[in-house]
Amino acid sequence: MKIAVLPGDGIGTEIVAEAVKVLNTLGLDLQMEQALVGGAAYEVHGHPLPESTLKLAQESDAILFGAVGDWKYDKLDRPLRPEQAILGLRKHLGLFANFRPAICYEELVGASSLKPELIAGLDILIIRELTGDIYFGQPRGRRIATDGHFPGTEEAFDTMRYSRPEIERIAHVAFQAARKRSKKVTSVDKANVLETFQFWKDVVTEVAKEYPDVALEHMYVDNAAMQLVKKPKAFDVLFTGNMFGDILSDEASMLTGSIGMLPSASLNAKGQGLYEPSHGSAPDIAGQGIANPLATILSAAMMLRFSLNQAEAADRIEAAVKDVLAAGYRTADIWSEGTKRVSTREMGDAVVAAITKTTIKG
């Protein structure tokens, strides 16, 4: 089992190191190879996604990814910015299916900005299409406007588009995921305004006929943003396009207390996957040893389950994370009065200790 380890920038290196440490305690035959990505790769190779890194990713069964980005690269031409690394990996590997679970751990109910009763027991799965929509649609660019409100002036434009097969394949992913859960899908669109999302809604409705056991509801994205904070537990599988999914998954993550807890998986049709925390590179706290490594550790668990067929090892990691939370270990982002404030490394060590104990007992 070959894993490409791409820590990236900012807190990426610190949190990925903890996830690797956890993976190494499982006694599995994992071949991990590390490479540069994002700003770190730009510094050395002059490109955020060097050929060698892409090749390693393509040849691996799975990719463990940290985070990319730093304000200091904001002035670079777009193709050289760190974010292009993750977008390039998604595109080149065809990672169209993004899973972002938003789970509220019992111990962290108080860390959410919402009332405990609204979020206790929360368990939503966001399924975000990841290789289409306005993120990748062509044409895009800048030009002098020839029409519109101000002809003759500078303008910028992007293209929102989805093809039928793109919508169909991600809809199947959503319905199949729902079958393993509460059998309910909320498809989020903006069909009242956008042709792309009227089409999305139509195609999803057609695909739904193949899943008569799954209830499908449609919701406009503005309403979904509101319902997520009003009554989050009413959602089970929240299914949407690339851009709406980007926004709603950040919103959903905050319901759970901290974005530092949320893993994600991005899969292609071959079952190859990229696993990364849902949060970014947090350059403001990089190098301080205070970042929460749990989202990355939980991403490693998703990797074992989805791409490496090691569900039992994944269970052990997830159980260990629950154990350390129950034991009161907290990084700064989830700390509250009466709990133990720990560093990034101490949190990783605690997870390792919880796993080894399980191993001895088992």
Determine whether the annotation assigns residue 282 to a binding site.
yes
Determine whether the annotation assigns residue 119 to a binding site.
no
Could you confirm whether 250 is annotated as catalytic? yes
- Residue 246 as a binder of Mn ion (CB under 5 A): the answer is yes
Determine whether the annotation assigns residue 164 to a binding site.
no
Q: How far apart are CA 91 and CA 268, in angstroms?
A: 10
Residue 203 binds: one of Mn ion, ligand IPM, none (C-beta under 5 to 8 A by kind): none
Q: Which is nearer to Mn ion, 35 or 248 (CB)?
A: 248
Chain centroid to CA 63: how far?
A: 13
Indicate the burial class of 76 (C-beta count within 10 angstroms; 0-12, 13-18, 19 or more). middle
Nearest 5°: CA angle at 167, between 161 and 168?
A: 150
Cβ proximity of 195 and 162 under 8 Å: no
Q: How far is the CB of 284 from Mn ion (least distance, A)?
A: 17
Cβ proximity of 52 and 33 under 8 Å: no
Task: Using alpha carbons, select from 136, 139, 137, 102 the residue that is nearest to residue 122.
Answer: 102
Determine whether the annotation assigns residue 281 to a binding site.
yes
Q: Which is nearer to ligand IPM, 30 or 130 (CB)?
A: 130
Residue of 202, 250, 323, 349 with catalytic role: 250
Q: How far is the CB of 241 from ligand IPM (least distance, A)?
A: 12
Residue 87 binds: one of Mn ion, ligand IPM, none (C-beta under 5 to 8 A by kind): ligand IPM
Cβ proximity of 104 and 119 under 8 Å: yes
Of the candidate residues 155, 168, 202, 246, the single one contacting ligand IPM (CB under 6 A): 246
Cβ proximity of 273 and 266 under 8 Å: yes
Q: Which of residues 68-127 bind Mn ion (CB under 5 A)?
A: none
Q: How far apart are CA 218 and CA 209, in angstroms?
A: 14
Q: Max alpha carbon distance in the chain (Å)?
A: 73
- Residue 251 as a binder of ligand IPM (CB under 6 A): the answer is no
Could you confirm whether 9 is annotated as catalytic? no
Could you confirm whether 74 is annotated as catalytic? no
- Residue 350 as a binder of ligand IPM (CB under 6 A): the answer is no
Q: Which residues pair with 240 in a beta bridge?
A: 128, 188
- Residue 323 as a binder of Mn ion (CB under 5 A): the answer is no
Question: What is the residue type of 181?
Answer: R
Q: Which of residues 72-111 bind ligand IPM (CB under 6 A)?
A: 83, 86-87
Could you confirm whether 162 is annotated as catalytic? no
Determine whether the annotation assigns residue 223 to a binding site.
no
What are the CA-CA distances from residue 333 to residues 109, 254, 293, 350, 360 (Å)? 13, 11, 11, 17, 31
- Residue 158 as a binder of ligand IPM (CB under 6 A): the answer is no
Q: How far apart are CA 133 and CA 96, in angstroms?
A: 11
Q: How far apart are CA 223 and CA 275, in angstroms?
A: 29
- Residue 155 as a binder of ligand IPM (CB under 6 A): the answer is no
Could you confirm whether 105 is annotated as catalytic? no
Determine whether the annotation assigns residue 17 to a binding site.
no
Determine whether the annotation assigns residue 100 to a binding site.
yes
User: Where does this chain bind ligand IPM (CB under 6 A)?
Assistant: 83, 86-87, 246
Annotated binding site for NAD(+): 280-292
Annotated binding site for substrate: 90, 100, 128, 222
Annotated binding site: 90, 100, 128, 222, 246, 250, 280-292
Active site amino acids = 135, 190, 222, 246, 250
